[in-house]
Structure 1
């Protein structure tokens, strides 16, 4: 059975939330592309350079669930613009430090850790706020449009801009990121003040108890539990694939840096197309079936990548993989918003995100070990096996 869906109205707040998300993603992408280059200019130690990236993941594991509980307690709109103003000030100070030659690896680690800690509140608040800005029947389309806009900004705008900004100065990408945070904060602050209703908290309720309540609610909902299990398995597979993709393309396929760039670009273009068509697919098949179908197709793409030793096959597979990845992500978030009990969406979304972040580095280690032991094409096949398990975990929900 299909799922009713209409196009979200850009007025009434959604357009401003979309613009804030896209602007913020552009700034984040500028920073994440420039920071490894800055780290490499400060040290040749691979472990230290990798530690900068790790500090960007660690807060989700330490504070992700706490960020979701906070997002359920507070006014999401105010939390989002306040967090973005703090992040803007932090990035402006960091840009000044870089411009004055005071950057260090320790400072990069501290900034990456602080930004992601604040992001745990912002992202969960944004997920919880969206259903109050669009009609229920427009949620799927709204999520697809948000993710498509972010994909465009992160892949096709930030990539060409980074070299241009670096020519102007090493600090410029970070100053631009600071400006995007401030602009996003202004856009969010202009949203309607009425947000989602929050249930009164029980007397004496603690954040720890509220986090546990959210986890129990996630576990009791069979569809969300299956979706969470499947998403975690897929993220482990994605970690294995992404961590070794450059070796797969330049080594096993012998396609060079140009082949790697083509594969990454194909993935981004496919994701944009997937965002455009995700709503129509959900209307025809239903949300959970759309996720199931996306997982099946992605499994086939991974098998093709691991068995067909032709650059064109990998480029085509990556395009289709990206297409279905956006279909999965948009419908996953929408299902979470539709099925979460009132006042608990922040905590449920934080559980999803914490597991997703935990899966990525685990998968990266798994992919590296598989490539070293059995060949550079095997991480794609390991990922295919994990995606198969993910699809299997969803099977009871589509009957």
Structure 2
């Protein structure tokens, strides 16, 4: 393995991790292309702000409708196969959209339906993918593994994908979506190279002390209740999910009107608004390069407190500034600490949750993430309409500061918590690793 390859995907993480990382990066290229092309396609068909906003909302909505079910199903089947099935469905859905565009029969209803269906398949793909990493690598390597997956998201989804999607859309409306089909199909093939993963055990031992040795019921509703109940009874995981929910409400409040804040308050124009997203992605990339050093030299508890403190200060800085250049600097810092926080919070949760509950507890977390975003965007829009474009930032500053104050002591307990079940991979080489 070359020095660059060892840096990107250390040999100790195993061959299966390299296939997983390659699949995730490839899939993110397709999603990044659609990130720019989908809104452009909708805007080319309608000038209604409600319909334009509905395109994004219909991709979030499936997490609230099906997120818990996706987690329960991921804990009942061979997860690798579920990821492949979800990728296959995504490819077919977008290919159908390409056919409508090529034949000139596409309309706004079809495009919105595709957004919802694609978002639904994405829920199952992302939920199942998140459960694979803890089955492949040692607990001590979860941090670096998550960092590499997040790096692919930043490069492919946030940096490379959107400009490519806009360029392809200018060439022809169907081209970005055809390339997206190819990217998702390639991800399916790459996931198929991963060694077959064991189906999670069907026993609820260790998840409910009162259950004894009674086998878990087969009803999906029971599985969902078991996952939600486990997350609620485990104080560190419960507290982490509450923190994420609260901070997503405060974060999404100003984020929902960011385009108006950038173009009207900061007077940066459309290009400047796009530059804010780019600055955030560049900050995340900078954090990617330093994450290994941070993980070795700074405790997770300290890093979590620093990241959340910076979140509070970021909101205050955005509320006060009227300078676009300053805003770009703030956004660069946001991208850096948001990457560190996302990697650490995911790693901490994965270390605490037994393998047979990874899907369900992970889906509870994602429902909290997207639930917070939906609530925050609704609140932020109302606040901005009543008190101006900087008011959501003041709301975010106060809400995040109060949340951090209430949860400050708990953060150390979350980072130091031990798994209930020690069923993570042993110290021998991860399954499927035959690399020399």
* TM-score of the pair, normalised by structure 1: 0.93
Distance change >3 Å, CA 37–CA 19, structure 1 → 2 = same
Distance change >3 Å, CA 200–CA 335, structure 1 → 2 = same
Deviations 1:136-187 (A, max 9, x none): 2110011011011111111221122123212331111111111111100000
Are positions 1:89 and 2:102 aligned together? no
Q: Give runs of aligned pairs for residues 1-399 of structure 1, distance below 5 A.
A: 9=12, 11-195=14-198, 197-200=200-203, 202=215, 204-397=217-410, 398=412
Q: How much does 1:393 deviate?
A: 4.4
Distance change >3 Å, CA 217–CA 286, structure 1 → 2 = farther
In 1, are the aligned partners of 2:262 and 2:269 still within 8 Å (CA)?
Answer: yes
Deviations 1:191-214 (A, max 9, x none): 011347434472643111111111
Distance change >3 Å, CA 22–CA 337, structure 1 → 2 = same
Inter-partner Cα distance in structure 2 for 1:94 and 1:125: 25
Inter-partner Cα distance in structure 1 for 2:202 and 2:187: 28
* TM-score of the pair, normalised by structure 2: 0.86
In 2, are the aligned partners of 1:23 and 1:180 still within 8 Å (CA)?
Answer: yes
Secondary structure of the 1:343 match is helix
Secondary structure of the 1:205 match is coil
Q: How much does 1:10 deviate?
A: 5.6
Q: Which moved more, 1:258-267 or 1:116-125?
A: 258-267
In 2, are the aligned partners of 1:300 and 1:384 still within 8 Å (CA)?
Answer: yes
The aligned length equals 394
Distance change >3 Å, CA 111–CA 74, structure 1 → 2 = same
Residue in 1 that maps onto 2:211: none
C-alpha RMSD over aligned residues: 1.9
In 2, are the aligned partners of 1:87 and 1:115 still within 8 Å (CA)?
Answer: yes
Secondary structure of the 1:302 match is helix
Gaps of 5+ in 2: 1-8, 205-214, 414-436
Inter-partner Cα distance in structure 1 for 2:174 and 2:271: 28
Runs of 4 or more consecutive aligned structure 1 residues displaced over 4 Å after TM superposition: none
Inter-partner Cα distance in structure 1 for 2:290 and 2:231: 28
Inter-partner Cα distance in structure 2 for 1:10 and 1:341: 20
Q: Which moved more, 1:179-188 or 1:154-163?
A: 154-163
Inter-partner Cα distance in structure 2 for 1:379 and 1:239: 9
Gaps of 5+ in 1: 1-5
Q: Which moved more, 1:111-120 or 1:189-198?
A: 189-198
Inter-partner Cα distance in structure 2 for 1:133 and 1:336: 16
Distance change >3 Å, CA 131–CA 391, structure 1 → 2 = same
Q: How much does 1:386 deviate?
A: 2.7
Inter-partner Cα distance in structure 2 for 1:168 and 1:52: 22
